[in-house]
Amino acid sequence: MTDRYAVFGQPIAHSQSPRIHAAFAAQEGISLDYRAIEAGQDDFAAALQAFVADGGVGANITAPLKEAAFALCKTYTSRAKLAGSVNTLLRKGDYWHGDTTDGVGLVRDLTERHSLDLRGRRVLLLGAGGSARSVAPALLDAGILEMVVVNRSPERADALIDAIGEPGRARTRYWEDLRELGDFELIVNATSAGRDRDVEFKLPLSLVNSLTTAVDLNYGEAAIAFLAWARAAGCRNVVDGLGMLVEQAATSFQQWHGVHPQTNAVYAALRAEHALAGED
């Protein structure tokens, strides 16, 4: 039986993961069977079990299933445990081992592709769901000075900060307090708020200084609203999630196949088709 790989999520038809992994496999001369599988919260466990029965040995997990996937793992990396979510599954015998590669993918994209030095920066993280939980530990590991997490539901933000366990560097504030937080060198949108194009994304301009980079973990239409605000606010750099998508996929690929693929050509091909949100 051929080893099979897949990405699970809902919706999933838009996913670039099959194409990205096919490109990586072509680079390395690896024969790959990688597909996209639609699954929601209610049928994800059954779909994953059927995937294993059909030869599945590795999977990527996207919204809204990252925390559900974590619950189905017997073992996981320390960063996945800290995040409480996974985006990469590796079959080990009769169980799943989980990891989260979003954070390392984001940091690699910002530091290597965009040449940003994250050390000593003050960071505002908007959101506290699976995506935020995945990137927060990696940003702290990259040497940022301080992280402030703001979420519409304060309880989730508090839970994230408690899990991180670095009260000296990571703390929460209420969404209503955004005007009182001062300015940040990095603002990361890990919410889904910008996906409704009819709703304007509004944040106080006081959050921005002359060095601010604004990052949306989404790309394409889902990133338009936040990045439009970032441009209007005068952010020095605006970055969408396309580079993170490619870099996190490369880390997943390495875990499955033992080799880290080259990402620049794959990123360039995708960027040629997906203009940075808000640009022609």
| CA gap 203, 61 in Å, rounded | 30
Instruction: Please list the residues that pair with 97 across neighbouring strands.
Output: 75, 90
Instruction: Please list the residues that pair with 123 across neighbouring strands.
Output: 147, 186
| CA gap 218, 277 in Å, rounded | 10
| CA gap 172, 53 in Å, rounded | 43
Instruction: Please list the residues that pair with 56 across neighbouring strands.
Output: 4
Q: Are 74 and 82 in contact (CB under 8 A)?
A: no
| CA gap 200, 225 in Å, rounded | 6
Out of 66, 74, 92, 202, the active site residue is: 66
Neighbours of 103 (CB within 10 A): 27
Respond yes or no: is residue 202 known to be catalytic: no
Beta strands 88-92 and 95-99 are: antiparallel
- Classified as helix, coil or strand, 278 is coil
Q: Are 164 and 140 in contact (CB under 8 A)?
A: yes
Instruction: Please list the residues that pair with 92 across neighbouring strands.
Output: 95
| CA gap 205, 178 in Å, rounded | 10
H/E stretch holding 87 reads none
Q: What are phi and psi of 77, to 5 degrees?
A: -70, 165
H/E stretch holding 263 reads none
Active-site amino acid positions: 66
